[in-house]
Chains A and B, each alone.
Chain A
């Protein structure tokens, strides 16, 4: 692997290679930052171009757009409280309160640095330990994945700002919404009431964009209309000083680790990682009391983890030929088109190409810093426009983005209704992040639970014969009960 790096650099450092990286990353950041247009749509936009490119640039373009859009998603999450993608939903929780305090630039600074560290570390891990991590991923069968998802579900408690009961209720609504449509085991339709439009279920992005972005527009219309944008003081990214990182490095390291490990497991994804990392930060960070009120650690937890996933997701993709998420699946398909068979021998057979991809991925993460800074300067005046122009543009972009996710016009209506529902629930103090967690994790929770029950012939207790599942379940129970114990202990001395 390492010996092929010189040849790999020869591919990368050509005019075409460098241009691809810079253009792709820029495009990714811009598209990711637009509310409604996430990684999936960004990749769909560049896909036709990759067909006429040669192998390495084609994959690098996809990678650059992917990594750029994951980072870009944090920008709209912080500035206008609308995550471009589900994976930056956790970033809203602390990013937006900071922006409301007039610290939007600083919040972006934290997010940028955390994203870059997360991405770079995952790139290094990918280069040196992909085969070992891939072997680890194989240990995660349906039962182990079920236990991991169960742990992820406990995050609902930690991201419930305000009432825990309402948070859990939000989570249940999210899970339920994800269950509408085809049953994953026998294929029968549930809760579709013979309406074929519902056969494909409620699209995750349509619901997320509805309950976050559209309901935010309604919230603002229901309040006093201001003609000046609240981002009036925003001039671009402000980086935190190195000294400010003191006391936050442990949290950063932990978040990167969580992102990397979860990214490696196929079918779990960046949103899961971001939420688990956020919950862990909220449990262990020295600043945990301020989580949800605009605490930089909250941004760091979420952003370091979701960017670390991008590298992690490449591990099973490259080492086993198994896509880690929807975007890496597109990459594999693109490789096939270029005459390369993805599979266990991918790295062995194409060391130079894979070396170029890995090194390119490292460079893409380095590029986030200058490009993020530059783009935020350029975009700052655009964001200071009147609220009316901004809100209108958000709705139009959301409609456009949701249309392109699946090309299904029904998803648009889902977004519209989710916006109304989200608005009503938010007014009653229901947090929306648990709903996203429920929708993201619900289908996997159900599928792995039922797969596990098929494998163990219906004996749920046989799940705990797997040591990994046992440990994860204990951690999940601890994560649920510790806050209660802590609260009880605190009450005693009083």
Chain B
């Protein structure tokens, strides 16, 4: 990692580019032209300009001082967990709370170092199962169910 090519610089550059793109989009998207205070992009533009300015300052600060990040101990572990968490939140509605939660619990427990298969399976079935039983069937505040049955 050099002083100019590192994680911090990279993240700040992305923040800067995102803000610039969003700012540009306020001109390309069609908005009704109704004068300053009435315009829907009046306030967002102020915020985006501040965002761009601040990320420039932060970028310069980082380039001057170049502090190091705390290293990630288990990169693979982390990557698996992040992928699992995003997939979980994405598919929860489609496949129901129970199935997705059980699958996520297995991954999460393994990532955090649990190796006993019995514990993993029991946890993955009992915890989401209890929540589904409580909310769907006792409180009648249903969580999403799977396409296969309306019980879970």
Minimum CB–CB distance from B54 to chain A (whole Å) comes to 4
Contact residues of A between 386 and 435, Cβ < 8 Å to B: 386-389, 391-393, 395-396, 399-400, 403-404, 409, 412-413, 415-417, 419-420, 423-425, 427-429
Q: Is the CB of B135 within 8 A of A400?
A: yes
Q: Is the CB of A428 within 8 A of B7?
A: yes
Q: Is the CB of A191 within 8 A of B44?
A: yes
Given contacts A185-B40, A225-B112, A425-B11, contact A176 B51 (CB under 8 A): yes
Residues in A neighbouring B25, C-beta threshold 8 A = 191
Q: Size band of the B side of the interface?
A: 35 or more
> With A and B bound together, what is the CA distance between A453 and B35 in angstroms?
11
Whether, in the assembled complex, B22 has its beta carbon less than 8 Å from a beta carbon of chain A, the answer is yes
Whether, in the assembled complex, A217 has its beta carbon less than 8 Å from a beta carbon of chain B, the answer is yes
Whether, in the assembled complex, B111 has its beta carbon less than 8 Å from a beta carbon of chain A, the answer is yes
**Tally of A-B residue pairs with Cβ under 8 A?**
174
> With A and B bound together, what is the CA distance between A127 and B7 in angstroms?
56
Minimum CB–CB distance from A478 to chain B (whole Å) comes to 21
> With A and B bound together, what is the CA distance between A357 and B42 in angstroms?
44
Q: Is the CB of A427 within 8 A of B113?
A: no
> Which of B36, B75, B112 has most A Cβ within 10 Å?
B112
Contact residues of B between 94 and 139, Cβ < 8 Å to A: 97, 101, 104-105, 108-109, 111-114, 123, 127-128, 131, 135, 139
Q: Is the CB of A420 within 8 A of B89?
A: no
Closest to B49 in A: A172
Q: Is the CB of A427 within 8 A of B69?
A: yes
Whether, in the assembled complex, B73 has its beta carbon less than 8 Å from a beta carbon of chain A, the answer is yes
Q: Is the CB of B92 within 8 A of A172?
A: no
Segment of A75-83, A95-103, A163-171, A483-491 in the binding face: A163-171
The proximity string for B residues 3-38 relative to A, scoring 1 for CB distances below 8 Å and 0 otherwise, is 000011001100100000010010001011011111
Q: Is the CB of A420 within 8 A of B47?
A: no
Q: Is the CB of A221 within 8 A of B123?
A: no
Closest to B86 in A: A416
Instruction: Find A400's partner among B51, B58, B131 (CB 8 Å cutoff).
Output: B131
> With A and B bound together, what is the CA distance between A419 and B47 in angstroms?
23
Instruction: Find B86's partner among A44, A409, A420 (CB 8 Å cutoff).
Output: A420
Instruction: Find B58's partner among A165, A217, A227 (CB 8 Å cutoff).
Output: A165
Q: Is the CB of A395 within 8 A of B85?
A: yes
Q: Is the CB of B112 within 8 A of A409?
A: no
Minimum CB–CB distance from B137 to chain A (whole Å) comes to 14
Given contacts A403-B92, A428-B12, contact A396 B36 (CB under 8 A): no
Whether, in the assembled complex, B70 has its beta carbon less than 8 Å from a beta carbon of chain A, the answer is yes
Given contacts A222-B74, A225-B113, A428-B69, contact A45 B139 (CB under 8 A): yes
Given contacts A391-B108, A393-B127, A458-B36, contact A449 B144 (CB under 8 A): no
> With A and B bound together, what is the CA distance between A396 and B88 in angstroms?
10
Closest to B30 in A: A188
Q: Is the CB of A392 within 8 A of B112?
A: yes
Instruction: Find B108's partner among A224, A388, A409 (CB 8 Å cutoff).
Output: A388
Instruction: Find B78's partner among A44, A222, A409 (CB 8 Å cutoff).
Output: A222
Instruction: Find B113's partner among A166, A168, A388 (CB 8 Å cutoff).
Output: A388
Whether, in the assembled complex, B81 has its beta carbon less than 8 Å from a beta carbon of chain A, the answer is yes
Q: Is the CB of B123 within 8 A of A392?
A: yes
Whether, in the assembled complex, B55 has its beta carbon less than 8 Å from a beta carbon of chain A, the answer is yes
Given contacts A227-B113, A450-B42, contact A400 B97 (CB under 8 A): yes
Closest to A456 in B: B37
Minimum CB–CB distance from A341 to chain B (whole Å) comes to 29
Whether, in the assembled complex, B141 has its beta carbon less than 8 Å from a beta carbon of chain A, the answer is yes
> With A and B bound together, what is the CA distance between A399 and B109 in angstroms?
17
Residues in B neighbouring A173, C-beta threshold 8 A = 15, 51
> With A and B bound together, what is the CA distance between A193 and B123 in angstroms?
41
The proximity string for B residues 39-58 relative to A, scoring 1 for CB distances below 8 Å and 0 otherwise, is 01111100110110011011
Residues in B neighbouring A379, C-beta threshold 8 A = none
Given contacts A163-B61, A396-B104, A425-B11, contact A172 B54 (CB under 8 A): yes
Given contacts A399-B88, A400-B143, A454-B37, contact A387 B58 (CB under 8 A): no
Q: Is the CB of A416 within 8 A of B77?
A: no
Closest to B139 in A: A45
Contact residues of A between 215 and 254, Cβ < 8 Å to B: 217-218, 220-225, 227
Instruction: Find B37's partner among A44, A428, A450 (CB 8 Å cutoff).
Output: A450
> With A and B bound together, what is the CA distance between A424 and B78 in angstroms?
12
Minimum CB–CB distance from A100 to chain B (whole Å) comes to 15
> With A and B bound together, what is the CA distance between A392 and B144 in angstroms?
19
> With A and B bound together, what is the CA distance between A70 and B20 in angstroms?
39
> With A and B bound together, what is the CA distance between A263 and B97 in angstroms?
37
- Pull 11 A–B residue pairs with CB atoms less than 8 Å apart, ordered by A: A173-B51, A225-B112, A396-B128, A403-B92, A403-B97, A403-B143, A416-B85, A416-B88, A420-B82, A450-B37, A450-B38
